[in-house]
Structure 1
Amino acid sequence: MGNGAKAQQKRERNAKDTKAKGSQLKSNAKAMDIQCNICKSTFLKTTRAPQLTEHASNKHSKTLVECFPGYEVA
């Protein structure tokens, strides 16, 4: 058995072990559950208060509470 055959067997063996990787766009879209009340922009649920405050002050010259009244600072 030559090196080409060994390499092909290794590729076949590794192909069985790996899962098909798909796009994460759908799961990211589902996670966009923070929404600005003024411009209706959505943000990932992992977005922190400083980023939301920056959005509120830069885009709307308002506070975090005015743009995101339902947001709870954890």
Structure 2
Amino acid sequence: MSLNLPLPDSIQNFINEQVAIKGYNSAAEYILHLIRQEQARTARVESLLLAGLDSGNSLEITDDWWEQKRAQLVQKFDQQQQ
């Protein structure tokens, strides 16, 4: 598949600089590298989210829960200030 993207000059210049600085053979190679990095990052985030879901008992987060957490943090902060 081929993809043709019109880019502003500033972005094209940035890509060309990155290709030269980082030793890529072409802009296409650099952009493909960025896309593969994003795919890997997305897969890692999904994996971490699934691991989190499987990590233990679920907890319902309610307004009361948040208020209790806020109160605990305020109390802890106040104790540290004394």
TM-score between both structures, scaled by the size of structure 2: 0.27
Greater share of strand residues, 1 or 2? 1
Between the two structures, name the one with larger relative contact order (CA 8 Å, sep ≥ 6).
1
TM-score (norm 1): 0.29
